[in-house]
Every structure is written in structure tokens, then in C-alpha cells.
């Protein structure tokens, strides 16, 4: 009976150590994860739709979602 109790205690300690180690490795992986860069978003001066700055049509008065909106707002 004494042997069984010692065996169970060793099993519980090994199980707890293993779960602690896996959790700490998960934390390290999350810290080293690559985070994508944020994209700048602008609003169209005519309709107000938001779009990435790289896709916007830039005019003299601001950014637009299309050439048609730029032409209708700027002479």
C-alpha cells in the first residue's frame, strides 16, 4: 500500500511538471509570434468609405475611393 501511495505521488508531480512546462513553452511561442504591421486607413472625401491608404486615389483636397469621386469633387 505504501508503494502505491508513493507511486501516485510521483505520478501527480510528474503530471504537474509536464503541464507547467507545456504552458511555459506556449507563452514563449506567443511572445515570439510575428505580428503583422498595421495598415493606414483613410476615408473617401465624398462618400466616407474607409479603405487602405495604398488603394486610395489621392487628389489635391484629400483621398478618394475612386477616380470618379475625385473628379466629381475636384474641378
pLDDT for 66: 94
Which residue range(s) make up the domain with 7? 1-35
Neighbours of 65 (CB within 10 A): 20
Q: Grid coordinates standing for 6?
A: 508513493
User: Does residue 31 sit in the same domain as residue 48?
Assistant: no
User: Does residue 26 sit in the same domain as residue 1?
Assistant: yes
User: Does residue 23 sit in the same domain as residue 49?
Assistant: no
In contact, 44 and 53? CB cutoff 8 Å? no
pLDDT for 22: 86
Q: Render 35-71 in DSSP notation, one character per residue.
A: PPPPPPEEE-TTT--EEETTTPEE-SS-EESSHHHHH
pTM, two decimal places: 0.50
**pLDDT of the chain, 75 residues: tens digit per residue:** 889 999 999 999 999 999 888 887 777 667 766 667 788 999 999 999 999 999 999 999 999 999 999 999 887
Neighbours of 40 (CB within 10 A): 9
pLDDT for 37: 76
Residue 75, CA distances (Å) to 22, 44, 50 in order = 64, 17, 23
User: Does residue 51 sit in the same domain as residue 22?
Assistant: no
Amino acid at each position: 500500500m505504501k508503494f502505491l501511495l508513493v507511486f501516485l505521488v510521483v505520478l501527480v508531480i510528474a503530471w504537474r511538471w509536464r503541464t507547467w512546462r507545456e504552458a511555459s513553452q506556449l507563452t514563449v511561442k506567443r511572445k515570439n509570434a510575428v505580428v503583422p504591421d498595421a495598415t493606414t486607413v483613410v476615408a473617401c472625401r465624398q462618400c466616407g468609405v474607409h479603405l487602405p491608404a495604398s488603394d486610395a486615389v489621392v487628389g489635391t483636397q484629400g483621398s478618394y475611393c475612386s477616380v470618379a469621386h475625385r473628379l466629381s469633387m475636384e474641378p
